[in-house]
Structure 1
């Protein structure tokens, strides 16, 4: 497993991208898994799902830099959390890469996606008509992936299932330039938050990440 990219957001928050090059057995050997984790792993079909689960946990262990057992669980909405460390985490994966974001003091969200033309067909499923108006024709596919990664990162940070990408997450107009940031709002129920979303193109992938800077501890 090779570290492809590491970025420190602030003294308490960072993310890393790893290229998955090992076999499942090699990844498994780097983890301290308990019976409930082994049972879940056995339930996954061999292939990408298995490799992605293992690789995000291996990368998490590298980023936490600890010899202790890391109890990484998911809550009732599917959001990963650490039961024996105070850190906030977010996990993502796409094809040959795994991504993990960790913070000591605030909720975070990250998404990585392989850029493919097929996103054009589903753009109106995750963007409102107002958002579609600011998409640049020349960089249309890349900018659509920025929008998807941004909304997915906010969704992961929020960690609840009652979120519509079209109705509840509003992206403000931005000019795509390979990497940058822009504002976005989350409005769902009694929650009204504004975020600064960051994005970077990495090889043939797009990365979107966000942190809850208004809720630092």
Structure 2
């Protein structure tokens, strides 16, 4: 039985988008052999996050990945025993999982116009607002949010300000497009390239650090 809605490979990376509702009905209550670290992390989560935690691990088992998820000192997840990096995201009925030979950050967000417009001042810089086309504001805001969320995960959550620590260069709205973006540190900045795709009413964004 196939319950993923989207799957592709790129740059030694596999990205899969799963149906979240299917997990709630059939998967997340399944018994899993969790490591001691995973059990401790699991017990610290809210009830909602516990369901998501088990759903993601059930998905990994379903696609044949029986390795455990561990977290490094930056709280970035990785698979053990393996040299593969992993990034996770969930939004409403979708879960996105990226497994890569490189460091990677991924985000999936359902389009919610009212919320994203309401919080835009928290993550849109002045130099980003000037290239957002007003007729497509909702799409631009979701893509920029997803890029900054992916950069945040790529960095391991060390830089928390979406206004001061992350920047997105001007781009035109085009599905399956590449966008230049930056992590801004105290001593220097580093450039990355983000890729985004629209899947149903969701935007999927990922950044691979080669």
Q: Structure 2 length as normaliser, TM-score?
A: 0.88
Give ranges in structure 2 of 5+ residues lacking alignment.
none
Task: Give the deviation of 1:44 after TM superposition.
Answer: 3.8
Task: Give the deviation of 1:93 after TM superposition.
Answer: 0.6
Cα-to-partner distance string for 1:16-64 (whole Å, 9 max, x where unaligned):
0000213477334263223553454355444x3222111222233445x
Is the contact made by 1:56 and 1:93 (CA closer than 8 Å) also made in structure 2?
Answer: no
Give the whole-Å Cα distance in 2 for the aligned partners of 1:30 and 1:15.
25
Give the whole-Å Cα distance in 2 for the aligned partners of 1:200 and 1:96.
17
Instruction: Report what 1:52 is aligned to.
Output: 52
Instruction: Report what 1:90 is aligned to.
Output: 87
Task: Give the deviation of 1:138 after TM superposition.
Answer: 1.1
Distance change >3 Å, CA 43–CA 192, structure 1 → 2: closer
Is the contact made by 2:30 and 2:58 (CA closer than 8 Å) also made in structure 1?
Answer: no
1:128 to 125, 129, 132: 125
Structure 1 window deviating more from structure 2 (185-194 vs 30-39): it is: 30-39
The RMSD of aligned alpha carbons is 2.2
1:174 to 167, 171, 174: 171
Q: Structure 1 length as normaliser, TM-score?
A: 0.85
Give the whole-Å Cα distance in 2 for the aligned partners of 1:60 and 1:190.
38
Instruction: Report what 1:208 is aligned to.
Output: 205
Task: Give the deviation of 1:2 after TM superposition.
Answer: 1.0
Instruction: Report what 1:109 is aligned to.
Output: 105
Instruction: Report what 1:33 is aligned to.
Output: 34
